[in-house]
Amino acid sequence: MPRPTVILRSIRLPLVVPHFTRWMVLRSLLTWLFVRGAATAGIGAAAAAVGLPPANPLRLNPVAALVVIAIVAVAGTVWARKRNEDTFLLCLGHSRARQLATLLAPVAAAELVMAVVL
């Protein structure tokens, strides 16, 4: 029976590169927080303007959640390209699809948690 620490070490993120993964994930989450905040504020203001009954503005419909994820994907890709991270990771054998998965995995997980909790 393997020890828990061994099991934990064997769990791998889509990209296992020191420094780079950490920053990509952090940037992704910060961008998501910003976009989510703007979407929430926008939905609340729009609902108040047209006199709709108050609803939970944190709760997005699936299409809106996908738009938020797409915005994070575009921003993350542009940022990675600007900082040459995409090129370096490609040289290390990490495909662009895998890089995108690293960017989007935490955001998709956060959206899922929001959908379940709210």
Q: Is residue 59 a contact residue for other proteins (CB under 8 A)?
A: no
Q: Specify the residue, 89 or 104, whose C-beta has the smaller distance to other proteins.
A: 89
Q: Is residue 98 a contact residue for other proteins (CB under 8 A)?
A: yes
Identify the residue among 9, 96, 112, 113 touching other proteins (CB under 8 A). Answer: 96
Query: What is the phi-psi region of residue 59: left when phi exceeds 0, alpha when psi lies from -120 to 50, beta otherwise?
Result: beta
Among 65, 78, 79, residue whose Cα is nearest residue 32: 65
Q: Is residue 90 a contact residue for other proteins (CB under 8 A)?
A: yes
Per-residue b/e over 50-67, b at no fewer than 16 CB within 10 Å? eeeeeeebeebeeeebee
Q: Is residue 20 a contact residue for other proteins (CB under 8 A)?
A: yes
Applying CB under 8 A, the site for other proteins has a residue count of 18
